[in-house]
Amino acid sequence: MPDRLERRMRFPPDIRSIRLVRRIIHDVLADTADVGSAGVGGDVPDFVDDVVLLASELCENAVLHAGTAFDLAVVAGDDEVTVAVTDRGAGALELQLAEPRQRYGRAATHGRGLTLIARLATSWGTRHHADGQHTVWFTVARRSAPRVAVPETLVPAHERTWSAAEEARWLLHVPSSLARRLDPADLVRELAARLRDVVDATAVVVEVDRGDGSGARELARAGALTLEGAVPPGRSLDVPLPTTTGLHGTIRLVLREGADAVRARELTELIAGRIAITAESQFLQEVDQRRRAWTTYLVEASELLGQSLDLDMTVALVPQLVVPRLGTWCAVLLPEASRRLRLAAIAHADEDRLPELRAVLDPDAVPGPPPQLRDRLAAAHRGAAPSWFSEPEDGVAVALRTSGTSTGMLLVGRPAGRSHSPEDLLLIDDIARRAALAVHNARTVGEHVQVSQTLQAALLPRALPQVPQIDFAAEYLPASTGADVSGDFYDVVTVGPQQWLVTIGDVCGKGARAAARTGLVRDVLRALVREGRPLVRAIEMLNDVMVEAGDPQQFCTLAVVMLSRAEHEGWSAVTIDLVLAGHAQPVVIRDDGTAELIGRFGTALGLFEAVDLHCTRHLLAAGETLLLYTDGVTECRRGTEQFEEKRLLEAAAAASGTSAARLVATVREAVQRFAPGSCSDDIALLAVRVEP
């Protein structure tokens, strides 16, 4: 019998393997035990039971807690027996198996095998390998008399080999309950670890190429390559993954010296289909998540671009949406009236580089765009296809096009560390189309607003008359500064050397129809009064014109005043002839600090063929002021409360003795304080003051 007997065997992670381990260790140690105590057919020494017990505990830990295949090494010498059990370390599947043990309390009671080893073994320890393997070993000293040699023919050669069915089952079978709980990447790592165990490879690496230009990347790895990362010739084996999507992959095995490459390839091809399905599942999940993220991004971008119709704000928002998600920098160029492009907005992930980037992208800056970029911009501006450029940095130029017409250019620099992928280009093109539509809408609305404001200004006098000893002042506050044209207006026109026609009115509605009706009212009334018609008759004839238009929804309220300078009891005064056609009563602010409403109500114009109008005469002495206003003042609301005439009189009286402009400003400030920012109607104020 040799002085030293060593056995090394590998077992699958099956509870049946433990029973086989016990029998093998028992037989090996019995064969090397003392004949004096055991002999042929005698009893087994006590220490053999201890070794079998401790070895089975370690194998059980490998099966139940590590969940991997394990290696068993038994070394029996003259004085001691050493047993080592090596598992593959905790993988994804093992972590999932450990979770319910920890949740339901088994974590507090498992691991008693190490306690037994500490009590029964002569010495013991653990080793952790660089490739993730974990070894627990122990030594038990012999406790018997010196043994007598036994014929070597009695020592059995125990070898454990895996059957083809066991290999296939271990490679492919993952319980569905666990497979659903595992992340696809963890499941691929588990399958790679199993393949490494079965084919006895140094390392198994699964690589996939997503086809997005980023190249192949490692999806899972089991084992470790050499420190230098080099693979000896003839020991590397590549098996492609049988994928059906745009994903391409390879399983790379680094075999041990002398390994059976044919068997390794067959087993790898067997598991490649399962790995391909799992890798494709992860790939499709990531694609779906990425598409959901991009869809959300585009929806939010559309919402942000649609929230403002201001051209400058819309253009400034576009680079902020692009950087850094689609590129490290972004610029928007818009054409001027001369069709020459100008830099409208720019953004960079590194704000310190903005001045440098602006200097080479702004056509008006020095040195300006390089020749290559100018050519690319011209080409992209003429066509719909993206144009690539490499100066000043790599990027792509996309035309902002709506209705087949280019409304500007979008420049996007490449993302950090990579080029634009095909998916990036699709998203940039989508953002460009949305931005082009937003810019077009903002520009169209801006032109509409400009036209409307020009029309609104045309309905008001450019300047009020400059008359000695009579002070005119007016303010107009539209409820909206947008494209809506209001129906409120005021007018002051000289009729004679000492006569002035003062009008304030409110045409129902807004927009072009209201503007047209306002112009008609103002011009017809001017013409009739200048022809010398009395106020009441002139207003009646204006009503006839409005009724003939056949649009009762465009009625109008008017307060018409004829101012005449006169001498009254030796001092200068102004006579007021006042006609109210459905309009609010004006206010007279006396020199003594009091304020009162004057005038007699009449019928609004444009509703009925016959109107009831009354002309009243009043005297405006030196130091007194007449204030005319539209209903936007008295009907301004704060909740359910209105400003009303009482507050108007108080505000006007508080400005007694001041200039006409100061009176108008005081009343306007009082209305704005009453309902800051919430007045929904236009406000027109017109004051006439007789200077002391």
Stronger pLDDT, 164 or 144, i.e. the higher one: 164
Determine the average pLDDT of the residues in 566-587: 84
Q: Are 368 and 385 in contact (CB under 8 A)?
A: no
Burial class (CB in 10 A: 0-12, 13-18, 19+), 127: exposed
Mean pLDDT of 449-469: 83
The token pair that represents 85 in the structure block: 């059990």
| 272: helix, strand or coil | helix
In eight-state DSSP terms, residue 635 is T
Q: How many CA atoms lie within 13 A of 645 on its CB side?
A: 11
Could you give the CA distance from residue 582 to residue 602 in angstroms, rounded to a whole number?
5
> Which residue did the predictor score with more confidence, 548 or 164?
548
DSSP 367-392: S-S-HHHHHHHHHHHHSSS-EEE-SS
Give CA–CA dist 674/403, Å, rounded: 48
Residue 464 has a pLDDT of: 92
Backbone conformation region of residue 339, classed left if phi is above 0, alpha if psi is from -120 to 50, else beta: left
DSSP state of 584: P
pLDDT for the residue numbered 105: 42
pTM recorded for the entire structure: 0.59
Task: Give dist(CA 205, CA 253) in Å, integer.
Answer: 7
Residues 561, 576 contacting (CB under 8 angstroms): yes
| Whole-number Å distance between alpha carbons of 341 and 350 | 25
State both tokens at 372. Answer: 């290559």
3 state SS of 590: coil
Closest CA to 286 of 190, 238, 191, 217: 217
Q: How far apart are CA 436 and CA 405, in angstroms?
A: 10
Tell me the CA distances in angstroms from 168 to 191, 195, 588, one per residue in order.
Answer: 12, 10, 105
Does position 473 have pLDDT exceeding 70, yes or no?
yes
* Listed residue (169, 166, 203, 199) closest to 274, CA to CA: 169
**E-strand spans in 414-510?**
470-477, 488-496, 499-507
DSSP 479-507: S-SSSPPPSEEEEEEEEETTEEEEEEEEE
Closest CA to 324 of 255, 416, 237: 416
Report the share of the chain in percent with pLDDT over 70: 84
pLDDT exceeds cutoff 70 at 38 = no
Pairing of strands 236-240, 123-128: unpaired
The label of the residue with tokens 């009706």 reads 517
Amino acid identity of residue 210, one-letter, is R
Model confidence band, residue 1 (pLDDT cutoffs 50, 70, 90): very low
Cα 496 to its chain centre, rounded Å, is: 67
CA 83 – CA 140 distance, rounded (Å): 9
Cα gap 405→383, rounded to integer Å: 10
- Interaxial angle between packed helices 644-654 and 660-674, expressed in degrees from 0 to 180 and rounded to the nearest 10: 140
Whether the predicted pLDDT of 685 surpasses 90: yes
What is the per-residue pLDDT for 559? Answer: 96
Length of the chain measured in residues = 692
Q: Which long-range contacts (CB under 8 A, 24 or more apart) does 256-264 make?
A: 256/200, 256/201, 256/202, 257/232, 259/199, 259/200, 259/201, 259/235, 261/237, 263/199, 264/199, 264/201, 264/237
**Contact assessment for residue 327 and residue 415, using Cβ atoms and an 8 Å cutoff:** yes
pLDDT at 145 over 50: no
SS (H, E, C) 187-252: HHHHHHHHHHHHHCEEEEEEEEECCCCCCEEEEEEEECCCCCCCCCCCCEEEEECCCCCCCEEEEE
The single-letter DSSP state of residue 393 is S
- Average pLDDT over the chain reads 81
pLDDT band for position 143 (cuts 50, 70, 90):
low
Question: Whole-angstrom Cα distance, residue 411 to residue 388?
Answer: 10
Q: Half-sphere exposure of 98 toward its Cβ, with a 13 Å CA cutoff?
A: 18
Residue 162, pLDDT score: 62
Q: What is the largest CA-CA distance in the chain?
A: 157
Of 7-11, 446-450, 493-497, 597-601, highest mean pLDDT: 597-601
pLDDT at 503: 96
Tens of pLDDT, residue by residue over 493-543, are 999 888 999 999 999 887 778 888 888 899 999 999 999 899 999 999 999
Helix (H) or strand (E) run with residue 283 in it: helix 261-306
In angstroms, the Cα distances linking 492 to 37, 515, 523, 561, 575 are 135, 18, 12, 10, 16
Query: At a CB cut-off of 8 Å and minimum separation 6, what does 648 contact?
Result: 587, 629, 633, 634, 667, 670
Q: Which residue has the higher pLDDT, 393 or 540?
A: 540
Average of pLDDT values for 348-374? 83
Contact 462, 330 (CB under 8 A): no
The whole-angstrom separation of Cα 381 and Cα 376 is 8
Residue 565: enclosing H or E segment and its boundaries?
strand 556-568
Chain center to CA of 482:
30
In the predicted structure, residue 361 carries a pLDDT above the cut 90: no
Quote the distance between the C-alpha of residue 668 and its chain's center.
43
For residue 377, give the nearest of 357, 355, 399, 406 by alpha carbon. Answer: 399
Round to whole Å and give the CA distance between 315 and 446.
Answer: 13
Write down the number of H helices and E strands in the chain: 17, 26
Give the model confidence (pLDDT) of 171-189 as tens digits: 777 767 666 777 788 888 8
Residue 144 phi/psi, 5-degree rounding, is: -155, 175
